């Protein structure tokens, strides 16, 4: 097994609990790149939120953001793929969330839109390192199509919303729980696995030469697609069961260990 392409989730995978990339992980990534391996990130984050980490790692590569809805080069800004939620579906979701009084945020053209500012928005801004645009009732009529729509709530409420959405939008929408409190909605068929497959095909790399590392439900598709799927030590049991290997946790240099062991063969 020779790995030619590595896709790394960011939160709770490459990033530790303080949202930092460890020196050992940086060193392992640079060593892999020096050997001709393409290393990229695959995240639910916005492109503008993921970009600083790609630059910090000196990666000149297409990065997968919005759970696969956008694949865009880190330096040139070239868009390889853009698959937002269709406007008709988006309008139905907006109407439903307005009726139910559920929290929702929109990601359109790499801008984060919210109806009003609250603690959920503040915490998201802190986590993602972005600023939201507060637009009031204009939120429901903002032009464009969303790369991602995200609702944040307590875990039991998220399960309830997911159940309602699953019935109402079956066959028209993809959904993923990236954290117990986050339900992310993208165009039907869009996920990290689809995006990684798309990128690998562009590079003429087969799945047997791809390694994907992640921890959450939204990483399942890419871990299952990759010839070598690696779950973090802090991953859910479902993700661990789908992976070929389990590495250490995100606060224990799990990503560095995986790259050293399976890519650099140290």
pLDDT digits (tens, 9 = 90+) for 196-255: 999 999 999 999 999 999 999 999 999 999 999 999 999 999 999 999 999 999 999 999
Q: What is the mean pLDDT of the chain?
A: 97
Q: What is the pLDDT of residue 266?
A: 79
Q: What is the pLDDT of residues 121-134, one digit of tens each?
A: 999 999 999 999 99
Residues taking part in catalysis: 9
Say how many C-beta atoms besides its own lie within 10 A of residue 129's C-beta.
15
SS3 call for 186: strand
Q: What is the pLDDT of residues 6-46, one digit of tens each?
A: 999 999 999 999 999 999 999 999 999 999 999 999 999 99
H/E stretch holding 105 reads strand 105-108
Task: Please give the average per-residue pLDDT across 43-64, as a whole number.
Answer: 97
Look at the domain 87-187 and name its fold. 3.30.1240
- Where would I find the H helices in the chain? 23-34, 47-56, 87-100, 119-128, 155-168, 192-202, 220-225, 237-242, 254-262
Q: Comparing 5-82+190-262 with 87-187, is the CATH topology the same?
A: no
d(CA 75, CA 69): 18
pLDDT at 1 over 90: no
Looking only at the bridges linking them, the beta strands covering 148-152 and 132-134 are: unpaired
- CATH number for 5-82+190-262 (one of 3.90.226.10, 3.20.20.70, 3.40.50.2300, 3.40.50.1000): it is 3.40.50.1000
User: Positive or negative, the Cα torsion across 70, 71, 75, 78?
Assistant: negative
Q: Where are the domains of the chain?
A: 5-82+190-262, 87-187
């Amino acid at each position: 097994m020779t790995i030619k392409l590595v896709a790394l989730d960011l939160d709770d995978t490459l990033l530790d609990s303080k949202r930092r990339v460890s020196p050992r992980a940086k060193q392992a990534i640079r060593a892999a790149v020096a050997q001709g391996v393409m290393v990229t990130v695959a995240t639910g984050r916005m492109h503008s939120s993921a970009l600083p980490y790609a630059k910090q790692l000196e990666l000149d590569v297409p990065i997968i953001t919005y759970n696969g809805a956008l694949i865009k080069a880190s330096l040139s800004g070239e868009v390889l793929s853009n698959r937002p939620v269709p406007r008709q579906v988006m309008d139905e979701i907006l109407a439903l969330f307005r009726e139910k009084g559920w929290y929702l945020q929109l990601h359109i053209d790499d801008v984060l839109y919210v109806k009003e500012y609250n603690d959920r928005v503040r915490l998201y801004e802190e986590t993602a390192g972005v600023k939201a645009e507060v637009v009031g009732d204009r939120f429901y009529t903002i032009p464009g199509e969303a790369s991602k729509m995200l609702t944040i709530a307590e875990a039991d409420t998220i399960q309830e919303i997911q159940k309602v959405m699953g019935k109402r939008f079956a066959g028209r929408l993809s959904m993923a729980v990236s954290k117990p409190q986050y339900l992310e909605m993208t165009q039907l068929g869009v996920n990290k696995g689809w995006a990684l497959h798309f990128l690998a095909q562009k590079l003429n790399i087969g799945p047997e030469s791809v390694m994907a590392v992640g921890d959450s439900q939204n990483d399942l598709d890419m871990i299952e697609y990759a010839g070598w799927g690696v779950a973090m030590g802090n991953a859910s049991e479902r993700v661990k069961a789908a992976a070929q290997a389990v590495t250490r946790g995100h606060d224990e240099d799990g990503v560095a260990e995986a790259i050293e062991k399976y890519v650099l063969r140290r």
